[in-house]
Amino acid sequence: MDGFIKTLPKVELHLHIEGTLEPELMFALAKRNSIDLPYESVAQVQAAYDFDDLQSFLDLYYQGAQVLLHEQDFYDLTWAYLKRCKTDHVIHTEIFFDPQMHTARGVPFDAVINGITRALEDGQEQLNISSHTIMCFLRHLSEEDAIETLQQALPYKDKIIGVGLDSSEQGHPPEKFKRVFEQAKELGFLTVAHAGEEGPASNIWDGLDMLHISRVDHGVRCIEDESLVQHLVEKQIPLTVCPLSNVKLKVFDHMRDHNIVELLRKGLCVTVNSDDPAYFGGYMVDNFLAVAHALNPSKRELAKFTENAIEASFLTLEEKTALK
């Protein structure tokens, strides 16, 4: 089974590039950029990654990203992730980035986008991994801040396929971003949003109705609303589920309690993703292995996660066919 999982072709649809910052690279960039870190060693960093909930993770995630200053830093971060994709047999990836994490610290938008996309272009050429980027708005920041970020992205519109919504779900419901998502749609961006991770199933309905999202990021709490589950099955609206993330952030107490296989068996278009792999204990293969060991899906079901991800991707019909 483990060998089957390792070589199974994979498609990743829920990955925050800032969440791939491994402690070793964090130290190297801190040194290169003369930034003080509140840690002495890699082991100390790893010991700090013991989260109670989403917010306790976000605090360290924002802190870690402070070592990212220059275009080359974003390149190195993205390139390290792509090399790991190769090892994990990831053939296509759609990555989130959080520009406001950086522009709020004075890092120019173009350093972020140019570093990431230059690495993705090299990933296509040298590693044969295709990709898209999705720009996320931080939902704890204001609507005006999101609108300004959307404006900053316009010169790079051809490099960004969609917009998303991440950070603290509790207290910052989808409706706060209804207008900015309307603008984004009019400009031709696709839309996704984190919903039903820590927040209630109603956030998933609101994401669909108010933000017109074509995928739900996480979405595991849909199970609390039978009519929502029915709707997601009927319309085959994809959920980008992140198993290790959900256990690390205590959305589920243990992997054996995770509902991903149950959702798959109900006919939902569920996919497996790594979210913030440097913080949550693993990349795509690790997530598949954790699901397989705890929940005993069949090989057919594991392969179905990939088939769903191809279908749920933002690739064209032609590109999807080429991956099958």
Which residues in 18-37 contact ligand ES4 (CB under 6 A)?
A: 19
Give the nearest distance from C-beta 98 to ligand ES4 in angstroms: 7
Work out whether 221 is an interface residue with ligand ES4 (CB under 6 A). Answer: no
Work out whether 167 is an interface residue with ligand ES4 (CB under 6 A). Answer: yes
Cα distance between residue 158 and residue 179, in whole Å:
22
Work out whether 276 is an interface residue with ligand ES4 (CB under 6 A). Answer: yes
Comparing CB distances to Zn ion, the nearer of 88 and 275 is 275
Work out whether 12 is an interface residue with ligand ES4 (CB under 6 A). Answer: no
Give the nearest distance from C-beta 141 to ligand ES4 in angstroms: 12
Give the nearest distance from C-beta 318 to ligand ES4 in angstroms: 31
Comparing CB distances to ligand ES4, the nearer of 163 and 310 is 163
Q: Are 27 and 42 in contact (CB under 8 A)?
A: yes
212 is in an annotated binding site: no
- Which residue has the closest beta carbon to Zn ion? 275
Work out whether 95 is an interface residue with ligand ES4 (CB under 6 A). Answer: no
275 is in an annotated binding site: yes
Work out whether 166 is an interface residue with ligand ES4 (CB under 6 A). Answer: yes
Q: Which residues bind Zn ion (CB under 5 A)?
A: 275
Active site residue 197: yes
- Residues in contact with 33: Cβ distance below 8 Å, sequence separation at least 6, in sequence order: 67, 69, 70, 73
Which residues in 45-74 contact ligand ES4 (CB under 6 A)?
A: 54, 61
Give the nearest distance from C-beta 166 to Zn ion in angstroms: 5
Candidate residues 90, 197, 283, 287; the one interacting with ligand ES4 per rule CB under 6 A: 197
14 is in an annotated binding site: yes
Q: Could you list the residues known to form a binding site, using ranges.
A: 14, 16, 194, 275-276
Q: Could you list the residues known to form a binding site for Zn(2+), using ranges.
A: 14, 16, 194, 275
Which residues are catalytically annotated?
Answer: 197
Query: By the criterion CB under 6 A, which residues form the site for ligand ES4?
Result: 16, 19, 54, 61, 166-167, 194, 197, 245, 275-276
Q: Could you list the residues known to form a binding site for substrate, using ranges.
A: 276
